[in-house]
Amino acid sequence: MRKNYRKSRPEPIKKHYRINEAIRAESVRLIDEEGEHKGTMPFAEALKIARDLELDLVEIEPTADPPVCKIVDVGKLRYQQEKELKKQRAKQKKVEVKGIRISLRISDHDRAVRVSQAAKFLEQNDKVKLEMVLRGRERQRGGMARDIIKDFISELEAKGFSLGTETPVSMQGGRLSTIIGLKN
């Protein structure tokens, strides 16, 4: 049996409107198809007006007293909502966490390459997870490893970035890590 480990996306919150006979109010405040207020009237009369226009009566604001209903085509209303959701999703920028690994014995050139990589990630408004794996006897050099990480961050700041640490430098197992990002 095969399991799907892909994370499922949460469904966007959709408004569920009561339509036509599903509306439970005795009287409603009516808005016609052009958006003009027609006043308060009995539900049956508002439904008759909507049926005469071959449109639907939709409860827009159920918490009002009396509820606000609008004469509209339900298909068009749902289509407009989907369009708005797509626009909102397109405007969202997902901030990614990019990982960079360095070691205790990193050479100057390798460090410069990693600094330029981190600078590129930060320019794209991504966060950078800086990791240092300590093997064997390197684990006794925790202070030296923290200094290398602080030097790495100061080199990035020297390039003109205003950085803030999301998580402080922490040791988990044989691994030192921190997450840095741009200050807002």
Instruction: Please report the pLDDT score of residue 2 as a whole number.
Output: 59
Q: H-type helices in the chain, by residue range?
A: 43-52, 74-91, 108-123, 142-158
Note the pLDDT tens digit of each residue in 69-85. Answer: 999 988 888 898 899 98
Q: How far from 67 is each of 22, 51, 139, 161, CA to CA, in Å?
A: 13, 19, 68, 53
Note the pLDDT tens digit of each residue in 114-148. Answer: 999 999 999 988 999 999 999 988 888 888 999 99
Tell the burial category of 12 from Cβ atoms under 10 Å away from its Cβ (0-12, 13-18, 19+). exposed
Report whether 130 contacts 149 (CB < 8 A).
Answer: yes
Q: Do domains 18-86 and 97-182 have the same CATH topology?
A: no
Q: What is the mean pLDDT of residues 94-109?
A: 90
Q: Where are the domains of the chain?
A: 18-86, 97-182
> What class, spelled out in words, does domain 18-86 have in CATH?
alpha beta
Instruction: Please report the pLDDT score of residue 177 as a whole number.
Output: 93
Check pLDDT > 70 for residue 8. Answer: no
Report whether 31 contacts 71 (CB < 8 A).
Answer: yes
SS3 136: helix
Q: What is the mean pLDDT of residues 55-67?
A: 88
Q: How far from 178 is each of 132, 149, 156, 172, CA to CA, in Å?
A: 9, 9, 14, 11
Q: What is the CATH number of domain 97-182?
A: 3.30.110.10
Residue 29: alpha-carbon gap to chain centroid: 36
Range in 11-15, 34-38, 63-67 with the lowest mean pLDDT? 11-15
Nearest residue to 122 via CA among 145, 100, 92, 91: 100
Mean pLDDT for all residues in the chain: 86
Check pLDDT > 80 for residue 93. Answer: no
Higher pLDDT, 25 or 16: 25
Residue 5: alpha-carbon gap to chain centroid: 21
Note the pLDDT tens digit of each residue in 105-119. Answer: 899 999 999 999 999
Q: What is the mean pLDDT of residues 51-60?
A: 89
Distance CA 149, CA 132 (A): 8
Instruction: Please report the pLDDT score of residue 10 as a whole number.
Output: 54
Token pair 């006979």 is at which residue? 21
Instruction: Please report the pLDDT score of residue 83 as a whole number.
Output: 92
Higher pLDDT, 184 or 168: 168
